[in-house]
C-alpha cells in the first residue's frame, strides 16, 4: 500500500512528515499509485488542497508553477479580482522563489486569496486554495527561500488540466462553461464551435443525451441544474435555422488511410476528427443509404431525433472528405483482414444491434407475435418494413429502448401498449423524462412484474404472457434493490405481441477467431490499458468496470476499437468521447508508430475517477432562479398513428440566454508533479 506524506485535500489534514502512518481518505484513495503504470507521481495540487506522496517534491516551486499556469493559461481576465489577484500571486511567488521575497509576502498571498472570493467565477478563487495551503503547512520551506537558504532544485515535471464538475462528468469532456457563456453573450456560432471541439454530433446530443453533466452541476446545490443539454441544442439549431455553413476546414490531405466499421456515433466521431487532421477515412456501414447514424438512426425514434437533422450532422462529416459506403457488411461483403491490408489503420465501431435473450419459457419457439427484440422492432418500424406487431403489445424491459418501443407501438397503431418491468418505477434505468412521456401518451405500466412464460393458442399465436409478482429485497451490485418473486402470485397479461427489450450486445461475428483480437465474456473487444492501481492495490476501473485508461488499440497492430463494441452498450455521448480519444491515438499510431495516451488524457481520467463534483458542498448564491424548460407538445394525440413529429421543441433565444445566465462557471485547475 502507498503512503501519503501530507494531504490537505477536502480540508482534512493528514501530516506524516515527521513520521507516522495516518491514511488520507477520499481523493487520495482514488488516485493511482503510479501516473501511468510506471512513472511515479510526487504531488497533486488542485481546487480542494494538496496531496504529497514524495518528500523530495519542492512544494514551494510547485505552488509557484501552479500559480503561473493558472494566470497565464486559464485566467479569463474578465474580472479585476481574478485578473489582478492571480497576477499578484504569480509575481509574488516568483519573487520568493528567486530569493528576493519578504516574509510579508506570505501575508500578501493569503490576503489575495480572500480577495479572490469575489471573482466572477470559481477558477481563480479555487486556485488560491492549494497555494494558501502550502503557505500554511509548508511555511518553513517558504522562509528558507526568503532567507536565501534554499534555491530551486526541483526536477519535477508538471502536468496540468482545466476542468469543471460538469465537464468532468461529461463522457466527451465538452467545455460546457465556455459554450454556455458564449450563448449567454449571444455568440451561438462560437458556442457551437466550442461544442464541436469534442462533439461532432451537436444536434443529436442536444436532443437525446442523458446529460450526466447535469448530475454534477454545482447550480444543483443551490436550486436546479442548468439545462446544459438543451443549451447545446440551441447552439446547433441556430446554425441550420439561419442557413449558416459550418466553418470547419480539414488540414491538407495525408497519404495514410483509415477504415471505420460502422457509421454510428463512434464511427462518425472518429472519422470527423481524423478527417479534420487530413486523413482519408472510409466508413463501411451495413445499413442501406439513408440510414447513417447507426443506433441513432434505427434505435432512436424520430419524435426524439428528427431524421433530417441527424442527416445534416452526417452530411457535415461527409463534406470533410469522409466516404461512407452503405450496404456493405464487414465479415460478409468484405473481411476484416482485407480492410487491414487495404488501410493503414482500422477502427471497429459496429454498435450494439443484437438484442439480448429474455430467458423465459417459449421465447425460442418461433411463436407468431414474439418479436426478435426491441432494437429490431425499432429498426423495422423506422425503415418502413412490417414489424409483426399486433394490436395488444407488451414490451419487457426498463431502459430507454423499452420506453421507445412502447411509445413507437402506439404510433404504429397499437390499441394497447404495456410495459412490464421487474422493479419499481424508481429503479428504472430509463431517463425519467422519457418515462413521463410514455405515461402521458397512454402507455400502461406493470411494475414489479417478471415474465416467466409465453402463452400461445393452438396456432402458435401469442395470446399472453404469464408473469409473477415481485418484491424488492436487498440492494445488488448496481445499488438497486434486488427483485424477488412472490410465491403464488402468478397471473397472465393478455396480448398478441411480445417485444423483449432488456438490452443489446454488439455483433462481433465479423472478427475471425485467432486473429489476435480478444473478446470479453460481455461480448466486447479487449483493448490495451494502463495498469493503474489505487493505494490499496486495487485496479482502477471506469463506471462500466473497464480499465480506467485504455489506448483503444487491440492486440492486432493497427486495429482499434471503440463505442459500444469496446465499452459496452452505453450512450451516444459516451461513444463519441471514446471515439474522439481513439482518433487521437490512431493519429499518433499513424505518425509515430506508437499507440499511447498523452499525459493530459491520463490526468483527465484520473480527475474523472477522483470526481470534481462535491454534492455536499455549500454553494453560496444570492437568490434562487428557476430552471427553464423547453417547449413541448403535450397530449395523447402526439402519439397518434404515424405521428413522429418532434415532441420537444427547444428554447427560444431569450429563454436560452436567461438559462445560460444561471451557470456559475465552475472551473478548476489541477496539476500533478512527476
Average of pLDDT values for 368-385?
A: 91
Q: What is the CATH number of the domain that holds 646?
A: 1.10.1060.10
In a domain, 189, yes or no: yes
Instruction: With a cut of 60, say whether residue 617 has pLDDT above it.
Output: yes
User: Closest Cα to residue 552, out of 560, 541, 542, 563?
Assistant: 560
Residue 482, pLDDT > 80, answer yes
Which pLDDT belongs to residue 665?
93
What is the DSSP code string of 499-529?
EE-S-EE---TTS-TTSS--B-TTS-B---B
- Listed in sequence order, the residues at least 6 apart from 158 whose beta carbon sits closer than 8 Å to its beta carbon are 62, 65, 66, 69, 671, 672, 673, 674
Report pLDDT for 1.
45
For the ranges 277-281, 365-369, 621-625, 647-651, the lowest mean pLDDT is seen at 621-625
Residue 299 is placed in which grid cell? 434505435
For the chain, state the CA radius of gyration. 27
Whether residue 531 is found in the same domain as residue 486: no
Are residues 470 and 389 part of one domain? yes
For residue 263, tell me if it sits in a domain.
yes
Same domain, 156 and 37: yes
Q: Do residues 369 and 429 both lie within one domain?
A: yes
Q: Which residue has the higher pLDDT, 299 or 182?
A: 182
630 and 545 assigned to the same domain: no
Residue 189: left if φ>0, alpha if ψ -120 to 50, beta else—which one?
alpha
Q: How many CB atoms lie within 10 A of CB 619?
A: 14
Q: In the predicted model, what is the mean pLDDT of residues 356-373?
A: 90
The pLDDT tens digits of the residues spanning 213-240 come to: 999 999 999 999 999 999 999 999 999 9
Helix (H, G, I), strand (E, B) or coil at 21: coil
Please give the grid coordinates belonging to residue 632.
Answer: 413541448
**Assigned C-alpha cell, 636:** 395523447
Q: Kindly state whether residue 270 falls inside one of the protein's structural domains.
A: yes
What's the pLDDT tens digit per position in 510-567?
999 888 899 998 889 999 999 999 888 899 988 778 899 999 999 999 999 999 999 9
**CA dist 308 → 291, 293, 413 (Å):** 11, 12, 24
The secondary structure of 62-119 as a DSSP string is HHHHHHHHIIIII----SHHHHHHHHHHHHHHHHHHTT---THHHHHHHHHHHHGGG-
- On whether both 240 and 341 belong to a single domain, the answer is no
| Tens digit of each residue's pLDDT (9 = 90 or more) over 46-61 | 999 999 999 999 999 9
Q: For the residues 396-421, what does the mean pLDDT come to? A: 94
Of 115, 142, 163, the domain-final residue:
163
pLDDT of residue 420: 96
How many domains, in total, are found in the chain?
4
Structural domain contains residue 31 = yes
In a domain, 1, yes or no: no
Residues above pLDDT 90, as percent of the chain: 75
Q: How many whole angstroms separate alpha carbon 250 and alpha carbon 259?
A: 18
C-alpha cell read off for 124: 481563480
Look at residue 370 and tell me whether its pLDDT is greater than 90.
yes
C-alpha distances (whole Å) from 262 to each of 198, 317, 353 are 20, 14, 11
What's the pLDDT score for residue 212? 93
Over residues 164-186, mean pLDDT: 96
Sign, CA dihedral 130-136-139-142, equals positive
The string of pLDDT tens digits covering residues 263-275 is 999 999 999 999 9
pLDDT at 477 over 80: no
Work out the mean pLDDT of the chain and round it to a whole number: 92
C-alpha distances in angstroms, 584 versus 243, 554, 572, 579?
31, 15, 19, 9
Could you list the residue range(s) of the whole structural domain that residue 119 is in?
Answer: 6-163
Q: What is the CATH number of the domain that holds 533?
A: 3.50.50.60
Residue 100 sits in a domain whose CATH number is 1.20.1440.230
| pLDDT (average), residues 187-206 | 96
Residues 443 and 491 occupy one common structural domain: yes
Q: Which of 142, 163, 184 is at the close of a domain?
A: 163
Residue 667 placed within a domain: no
pLDDT of residue 542: 83
If you search the block for the grid coordinates 412490464, which residue do you land on? 420
- Which tens digit of pLDDT belongs to each residue from 142-169? 999 999 999 887 778 999 999 999 999 9
Three-state DSSP state, 215? helix
Q: What is the share, in percent, of the chain residues with pLDDT greater than 70? A: 99
Kindly state whether residues 126 and 42 are assigned to the same domain: yes
Question: Which residues fall within 8 angstroms of residue 68, CB to CB, at 6 or more apart?
Answer: 90, 93, 94
Residues 346 and 360 in one domain: no
Are residue 362 and residue 465 in the same domain, yes or no? yes
- Do 279 and 226 fall within a single domain? no
In a domain, 671, yes or no: no
Residues 387 and 525 in one domain: no
Is residue 604 situated within a structural domain?
no
- 462, 480, 504 - which closes a domain: 504
- Residue pair 387/412 in contact (Cβ under 8 Å)? The answer is yes
- Closest C-alpha among 375, 362, 364, 267 to residue 322: 267
131, 105 Cβ separation under 8 angstroms: no
Q: Is the pLDDT of residue 362 over 50?
A: yes
Please report the pLDDT score of residue 2 as a whole number: 62
Amino acid at each position: 500500500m502507498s503512503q501519503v506524506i501530507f494531504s490537505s485535500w477536502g480540508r482534512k489534514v493528514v501530516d506524516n512528515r515527521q513520521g507516522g502512518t495516518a491514511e488520507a481518505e477520499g481523493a487520495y484513495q482514488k488516485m493511482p499509485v503510479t501516473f501511468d503504470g510506471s512513472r511515479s507521481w510526487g504531488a497533486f495540487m488542485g481546487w480542494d488542497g494538496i496531496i504529497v506522496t514524495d518528500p523530495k517534491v519542492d512544494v514551494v516551486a510547485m505552488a509557484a508553477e501552479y500559480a503561473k499556469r493558472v494566470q497565464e493559461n486559464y485566467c479569463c481576465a474578465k474580472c479585476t479580482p481574478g485578473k489582478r489577484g492571480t497576477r499578484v500571486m504569480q509575481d509574488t511567488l516568483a519573487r520568493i522563489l528567486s530569493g528576493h521575497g519578504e516574509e510579508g509576502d506570505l501575508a500578501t498571498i493569503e490576503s489575495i486569496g480572500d480577495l479572490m472570493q469575489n471573482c466572477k467565477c470559481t477558477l481563480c478563487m479555487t486556485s488560491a486554495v492549494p497555494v494558501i495551503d502550502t503557505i500554511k503547512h509548508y511555511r518553513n520551506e517558504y522562509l528558507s527561500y526568503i532567507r536565501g537558504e534554499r534555491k530551486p532544485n526541483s526536477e519535477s515535471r508538471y502536468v496540468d488540466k482545466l476542468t469543471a464538475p460538469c465537464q468532468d462528468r461529461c463522457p466527451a469532456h465538452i467545455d460546457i462553461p465556455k459554450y454556455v457563456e458564449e450563448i449567454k453573450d449571444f455568440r451561438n456560432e462560437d458556442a457551437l464551435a466550442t461544442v464541436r471541439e469534442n462533439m461532432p454530433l451537436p444536434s443529436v446530443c442536444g436532443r437525446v443525451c442523458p446529460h450526466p453533466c447535469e448530475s454534477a452541476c454545482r447550480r444543483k446545490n443551490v436550486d436546479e441544474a442548468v439545462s446544459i443539454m438543451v443549451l447545446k441544442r440551441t447552439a446547433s439549431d441556430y446554425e441550420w435555422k439561419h442557413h449558416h455553413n459550418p466553418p470547419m476546414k480539414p488540414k491538407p490531405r495525408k497519404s495514410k488511410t483509415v477504415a471505420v466499421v460502422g457509421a454510428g456515433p463512434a464511427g462518425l466521431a472518429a472519422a470527423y476528427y481524423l478527417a479534420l487532421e487530413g486523413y482519408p477515412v472510409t466508413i463501411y456501414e451495413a445499413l442501406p443509404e439513408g440510414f447513417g447514424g447507426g443506433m441513432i438512426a434505427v434505435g432512436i425514434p424520430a419524435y426524439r431525433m428528427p431524421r433530417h437533422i441527424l442527416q445534416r450532422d452526417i452530411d457535415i462529416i461527409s463534406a470533410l472528405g469522409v466516404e461512407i459506403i452503405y450496404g456493405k457488411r464487414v465479415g460478409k461483403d468484405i473481411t476484416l483482414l482485407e480492410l487491414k491490408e487495404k488501410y493503414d489503420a482500422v477502427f471497429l465501431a459496429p454498435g450494439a444491434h443484437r438484442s439480448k435473450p429474455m430467458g423465459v419459457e417459449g421465447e425460442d419457439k418461433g411463436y407468431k407475435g414474439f418479436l426478435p427484440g426491441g432494437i429490431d422492432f425499432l429498426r423495422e418500424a423506422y425503415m418502413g418494413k412490417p414489424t409483426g406487431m399486433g394490436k395488444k403489445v407488451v414490451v419487457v424491459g426498463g431502459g430507454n429502448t423499452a420506453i421507445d418501443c412502447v411509445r413507437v407501438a402506439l404510433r404504429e397503431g397499437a390499441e394497447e401498449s404495456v410495459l412490464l418491468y421487474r422493479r419499481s418505477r424508481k429503479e428504472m434505468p430509463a431517463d425519467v423524462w422519457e418515462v413521463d412521456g410514455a405515461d402521458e401518451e397512454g402507455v400502461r405500466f406493470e411494475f414489479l412484474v417478471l415474465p416467466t412464460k409465453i402463452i400461445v393458442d393452438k396456432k402458435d399465436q401469442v395470446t399472453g404472457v404469464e408473469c409473477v409478482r415481485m418484491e424488492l429485497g436487498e440492494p445488488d451490485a448496481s445499488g438497486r434493490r434486488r427483485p424477488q418473486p412472490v410465491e403464488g402470485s402468478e397471473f397472465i397479461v393478455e396480448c398478441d405481441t411480445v417485444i423483449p427489450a432488456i438490452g443489446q450486445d454488439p455483433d462481433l461475428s465479423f472478427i475471425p477467431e485467432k486473429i489476435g483480437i480478444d473478446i470479453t465474456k460481455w461480448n466486447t473487444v479487449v483493448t490495451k490499458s494502463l495498469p493503474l492501481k489505487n493505494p490499496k492495490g486495487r485496479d482502477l476501473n471506469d463506471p462500466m468496470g473497464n480499465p480506467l485508461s485504455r489506448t483503444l488499440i487491440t492486440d492486432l497492430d493497427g486495429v482499434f476499437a471503440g463505442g459500444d463494441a469496446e465499452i459496452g452498450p452505453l450512450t451516444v455521448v459516451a461513444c463519441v468521447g471514446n471515439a474522439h480519444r481513439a482518433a487521437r491515438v490512431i493519429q499518433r499510431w499513424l505518425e509515430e508508430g506508437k499507440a499511447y495516451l498523452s499525459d493530459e488524457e491520463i490526468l483527465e481520467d484520473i480527475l474523472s475517477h477522483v470526481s470534481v463534483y462535491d454534492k455536499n458542498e455549500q454553494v453560496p448564491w444570492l437568490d434562487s432562479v428557476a430552471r427553464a424548460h423547453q417547449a413541448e407538445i403535450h397530449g395523447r394525440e402526439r402519439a397518434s398513428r404515424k405521428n413522429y413529429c418532434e415532441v420537444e421543441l427547444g428554447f427560444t433565444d431569450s429563454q436560452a440566454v436567461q438559462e445560460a445566465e444561471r451557470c456559475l462557471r465552475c472551473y478548476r485547475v489541477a496539476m500533478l508533479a512527476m
